Amino acid sequence: MTNRTLPVDASALMAAATAHAGGLKDFGEASFRPALESLLRSVRQEARMSPAGQALFAQRVLESLCNRLTLEHYCARYPEITAERIEQPVVIVGLPRAGTTMLHRLLARDARFHTMAWWEARFPSPLSAEDLLQPSRRVAMAKAEVAAMIRAVPEVLAIHPLDAELPDEEILLLEHAFMSAFDAYGDVPSYTDWLWQHDQTPAYAYLKRQLQFLQWQKRRRGLTAERWLLKAPHHLHVLPTLFKVFPDVKLIQTHRDPLQTIPSMASFAWTLWRLFSDEANPVHAGRQWSGKFARGLRHAMAFRDTLSGERFMDVWYLDAVARAMDVVEQVYPFLGMALDEATRARMKQWLHDNGRGKRPAHEYSMERMGLNAAQLAHDFAGYRERFVLPHTAASQH
């Protein structure tokens, strides 16, 4: 079955994955199936993907299914994988475009943190006949995919600094449970609503299983660390689930005015939609991502009110940009860790080499995304009153 003939159908894609994986049939816990069915139904009925876009999306789903098969095969062959301990992970969350990537990659200069490069999140399972100690084929595949994305939509680099070998989001791992931010790839509102209404614990349990698998692979390559450093804005929607599956997690939340972040994120989503569709609608993207994060932030704030403040640290975006090392110096006591001079020097060098000014500006229009300041101020009023306006007022004095 070639990429051109892959149907957007769960049973057919699962059969294709089994054939592609040499006859493997164990996809693991079956809870992923309703999510996959909902996603593919929404893609068929709502996303208006081009034939090439549907083929590309089906290929992505096929790869995720193959990764599931391979993970289960390895876990059966090496039971010690599921004994890997994922302890005291550090998770960075915040609105998209609020400095989470910058802070994540800055803290990743500390070798005591495990992080996953984009290639690991995209291709977490070894390929057939691949040497576990030399994952060069997966790295090459990821580099080729990133290059193709940049060729297709060059402006993506102004929005997110894509690099196959730099740390990136575990949202790509959550895709393997088919409970993830697939609305970043297409206009799938019924799937987004389905996701909000269903318990995402199975996806986060599978995320933990994937981290165990990645950690085991890293250990085989001689890479050890004390704890994982993760980040994804998506977690804001399901913080209770994150804390249930990772009960000793420490959370760092970045804050930025939604009047700035939401139009930018909507523009990013619309940019990605255009990889899959010739009819991507910017107004739909604006409505989708504004509503999604207004709801998610209300949910996150309510959950935060039930927990001790020792579990959370708040970082203001402008502080992270203007005085990043001062923010880092506050992060380490929160984590119960000491920051040594060698790590501090690596972080300062990374800041010097990767300033925002080294990338093109992200050009976008709030109006083009069907958004306006008054409506955003209304929709995000509670969040802005609690986290944005007090800090803005303080910074003006």
Helices (H), 246-355: 258-276, 282-304, 317-322, 324-335, 341-353
Question: Distance between CA 179 and CA 173 in Å, rounded?
Answer: 10
Task: Name residue 271's amino acid.
Answer: T
Question: Distance between CA 320 and CA 282 in Å, rounded?
Answer: 30
The pLDDT of residue 393 is 56
The pLDDT of residue 161 is 81
216-239 burial code (b ≥16 CB/10 A, e <16): bbbeeeeeeeebbbbbbbbbbbbb
The pLDDT of residue 5 is 64
* DSSP letter assigned to residue 309: G
Ranges of residues in the chain whose predicted pLDDT is under 50: 1-3, 397
The pLDDT of residue 1 is 37
The pLDDT of residue 65 is 98
pLDDT digits (tens, 9 = 90+) for 288-332: 999 999 999 999 999 999 988 899 999 999 898 889 999 999 999
Neighbours of 150 (CB within 10 A): 13
Report residue 195 as tokens: 């996701």
The pLDDT of residue 2 is 40
Please provide the distance, in angstroms rounded to a whole number, between the alpha carbons at the two ends of the chain.
Answer: 65
Three-state SS sequence of 109-128: CCCCEECCEHHHHHCCCCCC
Give the chain's domains with CATH numbers: 3-395 (3.40.50.300)
The pLDDT of residue 362 is 62
